Each structure stands twice: as structure tokens, then as C-alpha cells.
Amino acid sequence: MLTKRIIPCLDIKNGRTVKGVNFVNLIDAGDPVVLAKQYAELGADELVFLDISATLEGRKTMLEMVLKVAEQVNIPFTVGGGISSVEDVDALLKCGADKISINSSAVKRPDLVNELSNKFGSQCVVVAIDAKQINGEWIVHLAGGTIATELNLFDWASEVEKRGAGEILFTSMNNDGTKAGFANEALAKLSTELNIPIIASGGAGSIQHFTDTFTLGKADAALAASVFHFGEIPISTLKEALKEQNIPVRI
């Protein structure tokens, strides 16, 4: 059985790591370069770096910061935010990113998923989906959760898999920052319907929540921010607890 991955997420705004609740009320969580180095040393399996205001502000991801983070880590490193072309991805990979994450740009131009997969390989392409449950239906949102679309989470995830996405990063906007647990029912449906890895995001607040998302949610990886940034759950403690519950992790 493949090991389950623990992935700290660095949401970046104005050069700082930030964290909010339900995508709003952001507070400062530290220097992303310092945090990235710490996480690599503390046993994180991967890192995700999201320039959360790049799309909203109509600009590209900060290449200089990507370069600085890449110099500090020896684990896979995914970068997202403001990516809309093959050229953007080429620049990020040259700065040290291992994978890229696209969200709004994929919805606006789905062929981008095909282009990136064909050029760089599906293992490089993570499609991030921010979705909110509204009247029982999971609706895809864009631009940092500020714009609702008419897309259904499961239909869109299936389409991007067919187009060559190598992984899905699903963030539940309802659960984000609440520390009430992941959206395991939706995650389990994604994991059952798709053949590519699903990264769970939004809602981590306890070790039990990670256990639940790997067992009930059938997620391949769990991404979290505040519980790691503010020292609430040390990664080593989390992994030991998961191992004791017979969940395969890299120690």
C-alpha cells in the first residue's frame, strides 16, 4: 500500500504566509522560506506553496520566492497561483518547483490541463479545486473562492483527470480553517470515482481528523496549514499516531 502523505500548505500574500477561516480574515503566520525549511526538516512529505492573491491581482507567482524556498527544501514542492501558460510553468520548474497547481486558469481554459500534461507529464500537473457545498451540491469556485461557477466538483474533477491531471487538490470551502475535520464524504466519492491521487484540504484540527480523512475519506494525502504553522500538531507526533493506527506513513 502506498504511504499516505502529510503536506503543509504555505498560503502566500504580500510575501508572507497567511491563514484564514473559510478563505477570509487572514492572519500572518510567518516567513514562507523559514517555514518551508522547518517543514522539510520536521518530516513533511511534500510542500504546497500557493500565491493566493496572484489570480485576484492579475499577476504571476513570485519567482524569486519560489527560488528561495526551493533552495531550502529537499522534498517535492508544488507551486500555484497565477499560472496560465506553458511558459509560466517552465519558469517555475526552472526556479526549483517539482509540480505546479492550477485552478482558475484551468476552469477558464480547460485545454491548459492537456497542454501542461503533454509538455511536462501528468505527474507535474496538480489541479486544485476549491468547492463549496450549496444546497447539497458541491459548486466549484475561482479566484481564491471569490467567484462561483456553474461547475459541479465531481464532474469537473473527472474532466481534468481525462485531460491529463496527475492529482486533484480538493479544498472544501465549508471546512477551510474551521478545524472541524475534512469533507470526508466528498473526498471518498472523489477517490472512488477517479483513478488519480486525491489531496484532502480544509478542516484539519486534530490527529483524528487526519486518521478519518485517510480511512473514511480515502484520501491519498492530507494538506493542512494552521495546525502546523502555529505548532498545534507536530508532524512527527502526527505520523507516529497514524502509524500506530496502521496507516502507512513515511517516518
HEC assignment per residue over 68-135: HHHHHCCCCEEEECCCCCHHHHHHHHHCCCCEEEECHHHHHCCHHHHHHHHHHCHHHEEEEEEEEEEC
Cβ atoms 124, 77 nearer than 8 A: no
pLDDT digits (tens, 9 = 90+) for 88-105: 999 999 999 999 999 999
Residues of the chain with pLDDT under 70: 1, 15-30, 52-61
Euclidean distance between CA atoms 124 and 93, whole angstroms: 9
pLDDT on residue 200:
98
pLDDT on residue 1:
66
Q: Does 168 map to a domain? A: yes
List of residues 6+ apart from 15 with CB closer than 8 A: 32, 62, 65
pLDDT on residue 127:
98
pLDDT on residue 226:
81
Residue range(s) defining the domain that contains residue 63:
5-244
User: What is the Rg, in whole angstroms, of the alpha carbon atoms belonging to the chain?
Assistant: 16
**0.85 exceeded by pTM:** yes
Euclidean distance between CA atoms 20 and 13, whole angstroms: 12
Q: Does 209 map to a domain? A: yes
Cβ atoms 81, 55 nearer than 8 A: yes
pLDDT digits (tens, 9 = 90+) for 33-80: 888 898 999 999 999 988 866 555 554 557 888 898 899 899 999 999
Q: Does 153 map to a domain? A: yes
Q: Does 250 map to a domain? A: no
pLDDT on residue 29:
55
Catalytic residue list = 11, 130
Q: Does 251 map to a domain? A: no
Q: What is the CATH number of the domain that holds 213?
A: 3.20.20.70
pLDDT on residue 2:
87
Number of domains in the chain: 1
pLDDT on residue 26:
52
Q: Does 188 map to a domain? A: yes
Cβ atoms 44, 37 nearer than 8 A: no
pLDDT on residue 23:
43
